[in-house]
């Protein structure tokens, strides 16, 4: 008989058991479920609701179950629906009446909410670790390639010369904001719902603040109905994950382009590439393509949960069981993507000679020629026209701007004297952009120093989150 079967006169149909069960995916919450039960039993004893002997039996029994699950010898059963009932049923079979007392002053509604809050705190720490490692790798690459000149693009057309370190630091900025968004995710997850019961609280003299303290929570829900129906913290994580995957997808697109035969800016390590079943010469950037592709999958999970929740009345509804699979898949996808990108970037080879060569053969310095004319007194729009004509002329002659002779320059404008050529060299173009946040070497050095300061502050925050998310020793 099911633990809730007292009111029923017949068993549920096997297909209903299978459809209703969540043990296939929520078994990953076992650590959190056991930690929550130990804290709940401890609080019940302190409040005089549970005897010391019962609490000791419960704790020992849960420890034994934890060891079995860790060893992969615990018999999960679909008929028991979920991780909560599987553990409670096994506990009662082992220790008898004491096990039946564990659920006093608790509902599966606040129990599952607690498990997910605990789990998400741990996941947020893992996500922070993976993000921090990738940020450190990006900062290291930016420092290593701080002097490598690189063609900056707009509309996938070469636009202006920059430093490769500057380009990499742009991705550092994106992912740094993703780490910052984790703080909001943490605040939403760091609230204990235990004590809310099914929806209205409990008639027992419990102390929800005590279980929150035992589990390291920073706060307790102030409204019992909100406690069991809130899934905002999951949406916040899914939103953060979607934005992070979008950033990784943008980086993936660039990696795919840079590794192509047309660009040849980088070469990916063999360990992070694949081949073709028919074309022996191929070296495909499949990892980057998969990260780009899986971004849509993460978007889908965000929309799916938002859609599931949008019409639900208070308080708990079985629809909320649909929160887990999408969240779990998002977590797995995001963590893998962050971790694999750290190693992919660490092992790629940069072709600095190729990057320089394309800049010597294009018109990325055209804006600098216009700026040079402005400094000579020409209005910018007039300077823009003159340089546009210079570009058109050079194209017809099979030249670039730096190849134009003194006579050709003078014919375009009397202000275009030969000393303009020094002002439009690649190095001069980069050095001239010394505005705050620009690509000049001094500005890139400032950005690198700021990145190291930010990484130090993020590492300190990560250590504090890790300490707070740590579960009691018995569940490790």
Centre a 10 Å sphere on the Cβ of residue 452 and count the other Cβ atoms it contains. 12
Does 155 qualify as catalytic in the annotation? yes
Distance CA 182, CA 125 (A): 9
* Closest to 250 in 3D by CA, of 375, 146, 337, 367: 337
In this structure, what token pair is assigned to residue 472?
A: 């009691």
DSSP 8-state symbol, 362: S
Distance CA 118, CA 116 (A): 5
Distances from the Cα of 254 to the Cαs of 174, 177, 250, in angstroms? 15, 20, 7
From the candidates 40, 260, 276, 425, which is the catalytic residue? 276
DSSP 8-state symbol, 416: -
Centre a 10 Å sphere on the Cβ of residue 202 and count the other Cβ atoms it contains. 18
From the candidates 155, 261, 435, 457, which is the catalytic residue? 155
Does 276 qualify as catalytic in the annotation? yes
In this structure, what token pair is assigned to residue 421?
A: 């050529």
Distance CA 404, CA 394 (A): 7
Centre a 10 Å sphere on the Cβ of residue 243 and count the other Cβ atoms it contains. 17
Q: Indicate the helix (H) or strand (E) that contains 18.
A: helix 14-20
Residues annotated as catalytic are 155, 276
């Amino acid at each position: 008989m099911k633990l809730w079967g007292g009111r029923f006169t017949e068993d549920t149909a096997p297909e209903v058991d299978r459809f209703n069960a969540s043990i296939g995916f929520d078994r990953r919450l076992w650590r959190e479920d056991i930690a929550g039960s130990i804290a709940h039993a401890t609080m019940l004893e302190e409040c005089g609701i549970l005897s010391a002997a019962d609490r000791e039996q419960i704790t020992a029994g849960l420890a034994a179950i934890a060891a079995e699950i860790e060893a992969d010898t615990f018999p999960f059963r679909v008929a028991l629906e979920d991780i909560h009932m599987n553990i409670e049923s096994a506990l009662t079979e082992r220790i008898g009446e004491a096990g039946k007392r564990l659920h006093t002053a608790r509902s599966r509604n606040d129990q599952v909410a607690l498990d997910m809050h605990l789990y998400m705190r741990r996941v947020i720490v893992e996500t922070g670790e993976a993000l921090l490692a990738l940020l450190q790798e990006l900062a290291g690459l930016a420092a290593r390639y701080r002097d490598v000149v690189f063609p900056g693009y707009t509309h996938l057309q070469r636009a202006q010369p920059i430093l490769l370190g500057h380009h990499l630091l742009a991705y550092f900025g994106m992912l740094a904001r993703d780490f910052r968004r984790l703080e909001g995710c943490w605040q939403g997850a760091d609230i204990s719902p235990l004590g809310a019961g099914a929806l209205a609280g409990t008639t027992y003299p419990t102390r929800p603040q005590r279980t929150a303290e035992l589990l390291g929570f920073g706060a307790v829900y102030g409204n019992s109905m909100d406690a069991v129906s809130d899934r905002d913290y999951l949406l916040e994580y899914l939103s953060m994950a979607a934005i992070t995957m979008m950033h990784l997808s943008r980086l993936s697109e660039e990696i795919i382009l840079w590794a192509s035969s047309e660009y040849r800016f980088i070469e990916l390590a063999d360990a992070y590439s694949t081949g073709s079943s028919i074309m022996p010469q191929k070296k495909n950037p499949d990892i980057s393509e998969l990260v780009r592709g899986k971004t849509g999958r993460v978007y889908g999970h965000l929309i799916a949960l938002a859609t599931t929740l949008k019409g639900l009345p208070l308080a708990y509804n079985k629809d909320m069981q649909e929160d887990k699979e999408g969240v779990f898949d998002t977590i797995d996808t995001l963590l893998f993507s962050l971790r694999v990108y750290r190693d992919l970037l660490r092992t790629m080879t940069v072709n600095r000679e190729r990057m320089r060569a394309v800049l010597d053969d294009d018109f990325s310095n055209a804006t600098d020629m216009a700026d040079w004319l402005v400094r000579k007194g020409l209005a910018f729009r007039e300077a823009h026209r003159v340089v546009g004509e210079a570009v058109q002329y050079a194209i017809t002659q099979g030249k670039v701007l730096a190849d134009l002779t003194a006579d050709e320059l003078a014919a375009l404008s009397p202000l275009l004297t030969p000393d303009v050529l020094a002002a439009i060299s690649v190095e001069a173009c980069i050095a001239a952009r010394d505005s705050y946040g620009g690509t000049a070497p001094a500005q890139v050095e400032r950005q690198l120093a700021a990145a190291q300061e930010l990484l130090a502050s993020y590492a300190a925050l990560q250590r504090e989150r890790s300490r707070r998310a740590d579960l009691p020793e018995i569940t490790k």
